[in-house]
């Protein structure tokens, strides 16, 4: 029997597949995409019906040679890239590269990397899905048209190097609009009054004032609160009504991609990007001791809550064994998909619930273990009986006033014995008040009345979790794109993540406002969602890509031509603000410089006044007072004038006070080392008292060496960070950036495997 070739995306999968496919199959990996649109030009012939001009991705020539060598004269090639649109595109481009007379290509979809799933997929291969490929290609063309044609407008009008994205720019708009909503919000004062009461039996409990004369009561200020307290003085508190009812709380569905990201952000502190990276590792397969590598979860990019019957049966069996028959529902829970779900893949679930998290702990990293346990618990819990809570509500009268106390007790934990979501945990904490047994018309002792001042709050800024939720609810992006959207908008400098919440930068505000003016459709949430629907329809075969692209481009081209002529130019004209120049009284304007936006006089070049600025909590522009030069005891070595300390782009430095006649400057040194050169990390060489400092090699490449050089020659390339390794306890970790992992921390000890993305550090 002749051999066949199986081609996957990731080399990691090869290890898993080789164990199951045997000697009849050779394996190779594309290591992601191998062809794409050219990097430095549009690469789309609009006149020829939006024909893309694909080129080999830089660095992938060797991969293609390896694939061709692996294919050799083999007749059958199985294309097993990931089962989504991007995977379909990789499969399509691979087939184009390996096309040969008499060669047959098969598409294989691995929704999970387990022995049975792999053999089932290999025994029923499919043809390449042209509709799915066309959908991916249309998305790529749309993104290229927007990015490559709007970005030059921003270079001309704002600043070189800026960029716009079809989906990312809408995400920035959502963040900017929430920030402006917060800035415009006017807090209103209100008060609450809580009574600490006790019946004949303990414990004491709290009741909140809600009504007066059976009408909802609002307490606007302290005066009103004090008046009510005076009314309540000496009043008898009496139980008017006790209502007890059982409430059923149903388990949540198994994870979709967006829900997995949201829960991992809230519960584990992962970013969306880190969640998907770790999930990919669990999907592709991990060594379980001396046995075979196995994929631990199903494919992690999905919008479906559908689950295979075999997996449901496994879950029900495990629940019976672990919790007893009382926790197994009469019928399995079936969850409805959202209206626009593609349902191409199952929900994210463990490939076998009998691989319990605790049993796998020795084989998994800390992050892998945490995410696997989250997925495992959520899936098993979704097939358990609902929880039953006894909820008690007590209505209490005090003269004309009504107080309300409520609490709940878990009668039957059901699924909550295993899993409580972050949202359920929040609602539970609000209802956890323990109430004593009380009967109606019982008099109560009032130990204390507690008045509290409050202010209304605006809707909060978006966290990663709530932004993913907002994007999903608005139909922006798809499961495979959420993590990329979040990392891209931060990487472009349009938003910052401050204490876990997104805030627009000044540059983000400026670019967002200009794009809304110039490209109202592109920045419209509904329009972007409709485009996503159109891409789905291309995959479904109910429309074609050319029609979608033509409809989009006809209006986009008009916006583009108008923006090139009419969009305000921050670069040449600036943006008007309600501040005047302190030197000539002409209006100040926001202008763009190498280091970002600043205030400049509209009378330039006659008046050269400039000033940095910031925005207050209301979004109003406030000029930043310039840093005053600090006198020092140093003397200029060139002219003898006093040196002063100034603040520069790279921190404080010394400059001659006789400037501009004397332009001498000096770095601030301490024992010959500037503060900028210090790392705060002690040299790890035994017996050395030096510190690692920034140096440059003879070719100008930065490195970090001991301050006691040449007595100590210890040196490293990666920047040391003064914190011990959390895994092995090494004295410091190092900061490095690679194409594969991006910016991350790693242990300086090469034997240690500690690695953590920098964006995920708390």
Q: Write the pLDDT tens digit of every residue in 630-670.
A: 888 788 888 889 989 887 655 678 889 998 899 888 766 54
Residue 671 has pLDDT above 50, yes or no: no
Per the structure block, which two tokens stand in for 159? 């600043």
Contact partners, residue 692, CB within 8 Å, separation at least 6: 679, 681, 682, 683, 704, 705, 706, 707, 714, 716, 720, 732
Helices 525-540, 130-157: axis angle to 10 degrees equals 150
Three-class SS of residue 137?
helix
Spatial CA neighbour of 378 closest among 421, 438, 429, 411: 421
Q: Which residues lie below 8 Å from residue 461, measured CB to CB, with a gap of 6+? A: 175, 178, 179, 182, 501, 502, 503
Model confidence band, residue 432 (pLDDT cutoffs 50, 70, 90): low
Nearest to 239 by CA among 393, 377, 88: 393
Of residues 165 and 341, more confidently modeled: 165
> How is residue 699 written in tokens?
């070719």
Query: Catalytic residue among 20, 106, 299, 372, which?
Result: 299
> What is the helix (H) or strand (E) element at residue 135, kind and residue range?
helix 130-157
For the segment 534-551, the average pLDDT, to the nearest whole number, is 94
> Token digits for 115?
């022995």
Assigned token pair, 207: 């009741």
Band of pLDDT at residue 310, cut at 50, 70 and 90:
very high
Confidence of residue 462 (pLDDT cuts 50, 70, 90): very high
Task: Write down the pLDDT at residue 760.
Answer: 42
DSSP 531-588: HHHHHHHHHHTSS-HHHHHHHHHHHHHHHHHHHHHHS--TTTT-EEEEEE-TTT-PEE
Query: Does the reported pTM lie above 0.85?
Result: no
Q: Cis link prior to 660 (omega < 30° from 0)?
A: yes
Domains of the chain: 4-128 (3.40.50.140), 138-185+460-566 (1.10.460.10), 189-250+387-455 (2.70.20.10), 257-382 (1.10.290.10), 575-623 (no CATH), 630-667 (no CATH), 675-760 (no CATH)
Report helix, strand or coil for 486: helix
Average pLDDT of every residue of the chain = 89
Q: Per-residue pLDDT averaged across 668-689, rounded?
A: 67
pLDDT value for 343: 58
- 299 noted as active-site residue: yes
Contact 695, 714 (CB under 8 A): no
Residue 430 predicted with pLDDT over 60: no
Rounded CA separation 88/619 (Å): 46
pLDDT at 154 exceeding the cut of 50: yes
Predicted confidence (pLDDT) at residue 562 exceeds the cutoff of 50: yes
- Rounded Cα distance between 421 and 20, Å, is 36
The per-residue DSSP string of 278-324 comes to: HHHHHHH-B--TTS--B--B--S--------HHHHHHHHHHHHHHH-
Backbone angles phi, psi at 633, to 5 degrees: -95, 10
Find the range with the poorest average confidence among 483-487, 538-542, 577-581, 688-692.
Answer: 688-692
Q: How many residues does the chain have?
A: 762
**CA–CA distance from 374 to each of 76, 328, 529, 756 (Å)?**
40, 20, 30, 19
pLDDT at 601: 93
Residue 672 CB neighbours (<10 A): 8
Q: Is the pLDDT of residue 235 over 70?
A: yes
What percentage of residues in the chain have a pLDDT greater than 90? Answer: 62
Interval 741-751 mean pLDDT: 80
């Amino acid at each position: 029997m002749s051999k066949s070739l199986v081609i996957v995306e990731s080399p990691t999968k090869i290890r898993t597949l080789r164990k199951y496919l045997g000697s009849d199959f050779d394996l190779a990996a594309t290591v992601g995409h191998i062809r794409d649109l050219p990097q430095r030009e549009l690469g789309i012939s609009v006149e020829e019906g939006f024909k893309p001009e694909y080129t080999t991705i830089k660095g992938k020539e060797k991969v293609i040679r390896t694939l061709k060598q692996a294919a050799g004269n083999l007749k059958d090639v199985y294309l097993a890239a990931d089962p989504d649109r991007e995977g379909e595109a990789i499969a399509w481009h691979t087939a184009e590269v390996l096309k040969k007379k008499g060669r047959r290509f098969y598409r294989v979809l691995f929704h999970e990397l387990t022995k049975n799933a792999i053999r089932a997929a290999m025994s029923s291969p499919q043809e390449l899905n042209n509709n799915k490929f066309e959908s991916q290609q249309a998305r790529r063309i749309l993104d290229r048209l927007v990015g490559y044609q709007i970005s030059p407008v921003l270079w001309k009008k704002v600043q070189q190097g800026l960029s716009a994205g079809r989906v990312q720019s809408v995400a920035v708009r959502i963040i900017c609009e929430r920030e402006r909503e917060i800035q415009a919000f006017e807090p209103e004062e209100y008060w609450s009054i809580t009574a600490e009461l006790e019946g004949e039996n303990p414990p004491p409990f709290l009741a909140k004032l809600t009504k007066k004369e059976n009408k909802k009561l609002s307490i606007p200020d302290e005066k009103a609160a004090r008046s009510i307290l005076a009314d309540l003085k000496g009043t008898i508190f009496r139980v008017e009504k006790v209502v007890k009812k059982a409430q059923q709380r149903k388990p949540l569905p198994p994870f979709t991609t967006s829900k997995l990201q949201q829960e991992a952000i809230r519960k584990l502190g992962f970013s969306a990007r880190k969640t998907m990276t770790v999930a990919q590792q669990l999907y592709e397969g991990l060594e379980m001791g001396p046995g075979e590598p196995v994929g631990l979860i199903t494919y992690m990019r999905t919008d479906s809550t559908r689950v295979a019957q075999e997996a449901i049966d496994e879950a029900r069996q495990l629940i019976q064994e672990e919790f007893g028959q009382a926790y197994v529902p009469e019928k399995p829970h079936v969850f409805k998909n959202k209206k626009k779900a593609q349902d191409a893949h199952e929900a994210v679930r463990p490939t076998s619930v009998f691989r319990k998290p605790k049993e796998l702990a020795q084989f998994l990293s800390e992050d892998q273990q945490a995410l696997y346990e989250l997925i495992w618990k959520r899936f098993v819990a979704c097939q358990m009986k609902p929880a039953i809570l006894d909820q008690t509500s007590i209505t209490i009268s005090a003269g004309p006033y009504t107080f309300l106390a409520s609490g709940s007790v878990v009668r039957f934990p059901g699924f909550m014995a295993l899993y409580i979501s972050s949202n359920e945990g929040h609602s539970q904490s609000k209802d956890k008040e323990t109430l004593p047994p009380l009967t109606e018309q019982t008099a109560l002792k009032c130990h204390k009345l507690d008045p509290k001042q409050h202010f209304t709050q605006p809707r909060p800024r978006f966290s990663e979790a709530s932004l993913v939720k907002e994007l999903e609810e608005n139909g922006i992006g798809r499961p495979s794109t959420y993590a990329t959207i979040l990392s891209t908008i931060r990487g472009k400098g349009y938003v910052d993540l401050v204490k876990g919440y997104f805030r627009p930068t000044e540059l983000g505000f400026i670019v967002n406002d200009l794009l809304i003016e110039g490209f109202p459709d592109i920045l419209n949430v509904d329009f972007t969602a409709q485009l996503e629907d159109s891409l789905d329809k291309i995959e479904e075969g109910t429309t074609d890509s050319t029609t979608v692209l033509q409809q989009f481009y006809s209006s986009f081209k008009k916006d583009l031509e108008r923006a090139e002529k009419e969009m305000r130019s921050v670069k040449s004209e600036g943006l008007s603000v309600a501040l005047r120049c302190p030197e000539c009284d002409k209006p100040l304007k926001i202008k763009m410089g190498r280091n970002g936006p600043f205030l400049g006089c509209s009378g330039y070049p006659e008046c050269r006044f400039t000033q940095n600025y910031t925005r207050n909590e209301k979004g109003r522009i406030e000029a930043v007072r310039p840093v005053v030069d600090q006198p020092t005891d140093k003397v200029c070595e060139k002219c003898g004038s006093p040196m002063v300390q100034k603040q520069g782009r790279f921190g404080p430095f010394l400059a001659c006070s006789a400037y501009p006649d004397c332009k001498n400057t000096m770095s601030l040194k301490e024992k010959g080392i500037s503060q900028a050169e210090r790392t705060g990390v002690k040299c790890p060489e035994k017996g050395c008292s030096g510190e690692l400092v920034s140096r440059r090699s003879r070719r100008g490449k930065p490195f970090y060496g001991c301050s006691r050089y040449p007595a100590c020659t210890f040196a490293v390339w990666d920047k040391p960070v003064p914190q011990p390794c959390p895994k092995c306890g090494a004295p410091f970790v190092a900061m490095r950036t690679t194409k594969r992992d991006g910016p991350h921390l790693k242990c300086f000890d090469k034997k240690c495997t500690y690695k953590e993305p920098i964006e995920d550090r708390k």
